[in-house]
């Protein structure tokens, strides 16, 4: 009884050992062996082959089925183990018969009934447990199939959305000529009429024609921004690199907005460090970025100062130009900075109604900078002003296409614009 009790209590050690040791197969086989030993030990001492506890042998295959799963190797090991134990039991029963006991036959019959009922209950319990496990597995498989179907539908929806986006971008890119041609006609004819009205000193006509001319330019700029964004998103925007004088490029952008800055009472202060002259980049796109950032500073500043500081930094093989445009304008709230470069983002209804804007210029400028291998960063304090820093590589030899507008231009052994900004 003591040995049997120790063997039965030994089952409680297996779960704890399984948590600590990574040897499930060994513990599973040991557990099956322990069960075989318990049953045969009880049979040996209580009736031999006529023992009322012999029906418990039926639980061994059931328990082994739960423990070892579909592994053919483990099944072979368990069957062999069971056969060896039975042979040992029969050999001991023949060679060394069990010691006689004084259990009355009536009690043995009662024990047999109890043992059979216990085996039935145990097998029923295990069968119910297995049925629940199988049901849970079936539900899990059904849920997995639903998830796979949902994932497939999402994948198809994503592909449809990408195809629709690409079709839209391709359509807008191809429509550039049809959209620009009539606008250019409006602008050109307004210029001709404006010259004629100026020669006749017709002040009323001059005022109206100036409004038409300005509206045409504004609409053309808006269309160009939409088309450029579509080209970048469609991967159709390329670079046309050439040698250029960056001082002249910056001077042209500043002169473009000098008269407007004077009307608003603003003063330009341009500081260009030595070494910033001949560069190799896309002049048109670099000028577009410079004009957008300077226009942004002029638009949101009244009777203030606009500082433009240009520097050149050489870090290993990466040669970058940094253009910091700092103004003393209205500034931007800190919580609005993360969405500053998102398309169609206009910060604040009051600013939108007072200063105008569509939320395309800064988003396009940042994408153009990244397309050229640089970046555009912003820092601002509400009520004090903003600082937009443009990073552009001095030399960009290879023409690169946009990849969803997110070309970062960094590579092995090269510093990112963030690292250059930190160094500055």
Per the confidence metrics, is the pTM higher than 0.75?
no
CA–CA gap between residue 244 and residue 256 (Å, rounded) = 18
pLDDT cut 70: percent of the chain above it = 82
Residue 294 has pLDDT above 80, yes or no: yes
Question: Who wins on pLDDT, 177 or 179?
Answer: 179
Burial class (CB in 10 A: 0-12, 13-18, 19+), 335: exposed
CA–CA gap between residue 195 and residue 212 (Å, rounded) = 13
CATH of region 242-423: 3.30.565.10
CA 166 from chain centre, in angstroms, equals: 21
CA–CA gap between residue 424 and residue 380 (Å, rounded) = 17
Q: What mean pLDDT is predicted for residues 107-125?
A: 75
Q: Per-residue pLDDT tens for 250-284?
A: 999 999 999 999 999 999 999 998 888 888 889 99
Top mean pLDDT of 117-121, 179-183, 376-380, 395-399 is at 376-380
Question: Who wins on pLDDT, 151 or 173?
Answer: 151
Residue 290 has pLDDT above 90, yes or no: yes
- Sketch the domain layout of the chain as residue ranges: 175-233, 242-423
Q: Where residue 293 falls among pLDDT bands split at 50, 70, 90?
A: very high
CA–CA gap between residue 254 and residue 290 (Å, rounded) = 9
Q: Per-residue pLDDT tens for 80-97?
A: 888 898 888 888 777 776
Residue 179 has pLDDT above 70, yes or no: yes
Residue 241 has pLDDT above 80, yes or no: yes
Sheet strands (E) in 200-246: 242-245
Residue 105 has pLDDT above 50, yes or no: yes
Residue 14 has pLDDT above 60, yes or no: yes
């Amino acid at each position: 009884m003591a040995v049997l009790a120790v063997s039965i209590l030994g089952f409680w050690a297996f779960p704890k050992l399984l948590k600590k040791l990574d040897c499930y197969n060994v513990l599973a086989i040991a557990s099956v062996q322990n069960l075989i030993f318990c049953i045969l030990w009880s049979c040996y001492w209580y009736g031999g082959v006529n023992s009322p506890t012999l029906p418990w042998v039926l639980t061994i295959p059931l328990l082994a089925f739960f423990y070892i799963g579909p592994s053919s190797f483990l099944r072979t090991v368990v069957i062999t183990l069971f056969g060896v134990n039975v042979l040992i039991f029969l050999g001991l029963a023949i060679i060394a018969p069990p010691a006689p006991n004084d259990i009355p036959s009536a009690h043995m019959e009662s024990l047999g009934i109890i043992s059979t009922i216990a085996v039935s209950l145990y097998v029923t319990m295990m069968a119910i447990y297995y049925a629940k496990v199988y049901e849970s597995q079936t539900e899990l498989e059904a849920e997995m199939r639903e998830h796979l179907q949902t994932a497939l539908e999402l994948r198809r929806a994503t592909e449809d959305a990408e195809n629709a986006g690409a079709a839209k971008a391709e359509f807008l890119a191809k429509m550039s000529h049809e959209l620009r041609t009539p606008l250019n006609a409006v602008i050109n004819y307004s210029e001709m009429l404006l010259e004629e009205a100026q020669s006749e000193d017709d002040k009323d006509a001059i005022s109206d024609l100036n409004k038409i001319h300005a509206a045409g330019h504004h609409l053309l700029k808006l269309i160009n921004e939409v088309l450029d964004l579509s080209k970048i998103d469609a991967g159709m925007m390329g670079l046309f690199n050439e040698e250029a004088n960056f001082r002249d490029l910056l001077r042209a952008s500043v002169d473009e907005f000098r008269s407007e800055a004077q009307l608003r009472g603003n003063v330009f202060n341009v500081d260009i460090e030595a070494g910033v002259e001949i560069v190799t980049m896309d002049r048109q796109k670099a000028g577009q970025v410079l004009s957008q950032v300077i226009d942004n500073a002029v638009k949101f500043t009244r009777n203030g100062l606009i500082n433009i500081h240009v520097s050149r930094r050489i870090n290993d093989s990466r040669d970058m130009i940094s253009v910091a445009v700092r103004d003393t304008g209205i500034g931007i709230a800190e919580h609005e900075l993360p969405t500053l470069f998102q398309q169609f983002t206009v910060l604040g209804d009051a600013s939108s109604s007072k200063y105008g804007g569509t939320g395309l210029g800064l988003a396009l400028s940042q994408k153009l900078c990244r397309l050229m291998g640089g970046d555009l960063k912003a820092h601002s304090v509400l009520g004090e002003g903003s600082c937009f820093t443009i990073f552009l590589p001095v030399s960009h030899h290879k023409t690169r296409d946009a990849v969803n507008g997110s070309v970062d231009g960094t590579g092995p052994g090269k510093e990112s614009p963030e690292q250059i900004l930190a160094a500055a």
